[in-house]
């Protein structure tokens, strides 16, 4: 439907409704938080308030980029990847000799997103996993330091794979042919994936807080329980089936499967960054998002759900 506004042409009525519903959900969260003021201890309450305020800002920033259009969205994801990569390099034990390679990797972030902007799918899939895979060790060879070589190669490669390659799959959803998904378009796919991923985090947290008793991985994340994990996955699976016909080209049975995939992958992504922080003995990866921590703390699950959902969708529907 043409709404007459040039910058909104990429949004279908369903995606607009979805955005309004997300905002309504945030209003609801803010109201509940106000009602809980007297019931919660002060520390918990301030953290909850900070978290919800940060959610507002994150949602408004993402929505603004999506509403403005493809170019703005791609620029947004480029910046997101850069900030996440910088955060990763900042917590890793980096050798001073490698600074030049790290600068080069930052500069290659927009190059990778350029392949997406030009819809060069082949290059998008091999640029980091093949070319950078070979070039990172080569670059380190040129810098000449062999002490800690293996650890440097592996950790830099992993940093680029997770923060740039994996996250960029969200952006590539915008480039999938719109006619295959008349209901939601590219933006609908992004909303479906990002909403379910973040909702899954919140659902697992709430199920865990309410019914959690048996710890699932005490050595990595002592707050995670079987009840939170299973409750969260069940909620996300159901919601995945419910939302799929509305925002994606998937019918509800495949939507259930997509929801299940997002639920499990999100949990694993979350745990992975927890393990990184445990290894380095740090609490948060940064303080960019008050109440949440750093950007990696927020997009850890998306690093796992984005590529998996993208290829599930591409295989089944495109």
Partner 1 sequence: MIKALPKVLFFLLIVRPVVYLMLGLNLLQREKLPVHGPAILAANHNSHLDTLVLMSLYPLTTLHRVRPVAAADYFLRNRFTAWLSLNLIGIIPLDRQGEVGKDKVFELCQRALADDQILLLFPEGSRGDPEQLQPLRKGIYHLARSQPGTRVTPVALHGLGKALPRGGSMIVPFNCDAVVGDPLEPGEDCDAFMNELQTALEDLLTQCITRSKKQEG
279 part of the interface to partner 1, by CB under 8 A = yes
Helix/strand/coil (H, E, C) string of the chain? Answer: CCCCCHHHCCCCHHHHHHHHHHHHHHHHHHHHHHHCCCCCCHHHHHHHHHHHHHHHHHHHHHHHHHHHCHHHHHHHHHHHHHHHHHHHHHHCCCCHHHHHHHHHHHHHHHHHHHHHHCCCHHHHHHHHHHHHHHHHHHHHHHHCCCCCHHHHHHHHHHHHHHHHHHHHHHHHHHHCCHHHCCCCHHHHHHHHHHHHHHHHHHHHHHHHHHHCCCECCCCCCCCCEHHHHHHHHHHHHHHHHHHHHHHCCCCHHHHHHHHHHHHHHHHHHHHHHHHHHHHHCCCCCCCCECCCECHHHHHHHHHHHHHHHHHHHHHHHC
Nearer to partner 1, 63 or 106 (CB): 106
# chain residues binding partner 1, by CB under 8 A:
25
Of 46-54, 99-107, 149-157, 240-248, the window that binds partner 1 (rule: CB under 8 A) is 99-107
Of the candidate residues 9, 103, 150, 242, the single one contacting partner 1 (CB under 8 A): 103
213 makes contact with partner 1 (CB under 8 A): no
288 belongs to the binding site for partner 1 (CB under 8 A): yes
| Cα pseudo-dihedral 296, 124, 59, 273, rounded to 10 | -20
Out of 10, 87, 201, 270, the only residue in the binding site for partner 1 (CB under 8 A) is 87
Please identify which residue in 45, 53, 86, 314 interacts with partner 1, judged by CB under 8 A. 86
Residue placing its CB nearer to partner 1 in the complex, 5 or 96: 96
**Residue 43 sits in the site that holds partner 1 (CB under 8 A):** no
User: Which of 11, 65, 83, 203 is in the footprint of partner 1 by CB under 8 A?
Assistant: 83
Q: Can residue 99 be called a binding residue for partner 1 (CB under 8 A)?
A: yes
Stretch that binds partner 1, among 47-55, 135-143, 145-153, 275-283 (CB under 8 A): 275-283
Residue 283 C-beta: closest distance to partner 1, Å: 8
Spatial distance between the Cα atoms of 224 and 218, rounded to a whole number of angstroms: 7
> Closer to partner 1 at the Cβ: 84 or 116?
84
Out of 5, 42, 142, 281, the residue judged to bind partner 1 by CB under 8 A:
281
Cβ closest to partner 1, residue 40 vs residue 58: 58
Nearest distance, CB of residue 91 and partner 1, angstroms: 5
Q: Is 94 in the site for partner 1 (CB under 8 A)?
A: yes
| Chain residues in the site for partner 1 (CB under 8 A) | 83, 86-87, 89-91, 93-94, 96, 99-100, 102-103, 106, 279-288, 294
């Amino acid at each position: 439907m043409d709404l007459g506004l040039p910058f909104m042409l990429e949004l279908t009525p369903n995606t607009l409704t979805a955005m309004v519903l997300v905002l309504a959900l945030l209003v609801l969260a803010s109201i509940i938080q106000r009602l809980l003021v007297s019931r919660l201890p002060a520390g918990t309450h301030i953290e909850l308030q900070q978290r919800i305020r940060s959610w507002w800002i994150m949602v408004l920033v993402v929505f603004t980029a999506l509403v403005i259009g493809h170019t703005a969205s791609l620029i947004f994801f480029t910046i997101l990847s850069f900030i996440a990569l910088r955060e990763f390099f900042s917590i890793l034990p980096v050798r001073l000799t490698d600074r030049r390679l790290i600068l080069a990797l930052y500069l290659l972030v927009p190059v990778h997103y350029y392949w997406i902007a030009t819809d060069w799918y082949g290059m998008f899939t091999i640029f980091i996993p093949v070319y950078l895979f070979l070039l990172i060790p080569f670059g380190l060879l040129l810098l000449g330091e062999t002490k800690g070589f293996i650890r440097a190669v592996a950790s830099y490669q992993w940093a680029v794979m997770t923060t740039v390659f994996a996250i960029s799959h969200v952006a590539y959803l915008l480039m999938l042919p719109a006619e295959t998904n008349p209901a939601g378009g590219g933006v609908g796919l992004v909303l479906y994936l990002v909403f379910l991923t973040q909702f899954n985090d919140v659902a697992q947290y709430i199920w865990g807080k309410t019914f959690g008793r048996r710890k699932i991985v005490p050595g990595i994340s002592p707050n995670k329980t079987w009840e939170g994990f299973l409750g969260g996955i069940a909620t996300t699976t159901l919601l995945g089936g419910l939302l799929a016909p509305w925002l994606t080209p998937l019918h509800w049975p495949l939507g259930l499967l997509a929801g299940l995939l997002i639920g499990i992958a999100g949990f694993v992504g979350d745990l992975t960054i927890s393990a990184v922080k445990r290894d380095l003995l740090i609490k948060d990866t940064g303080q960019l998002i008050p109440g949440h921590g750093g950007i990696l703390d927020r997009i850890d699950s998306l690093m796992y759900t984005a590529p998996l959902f993208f290829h599930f969708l591409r295989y089944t529907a495109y």
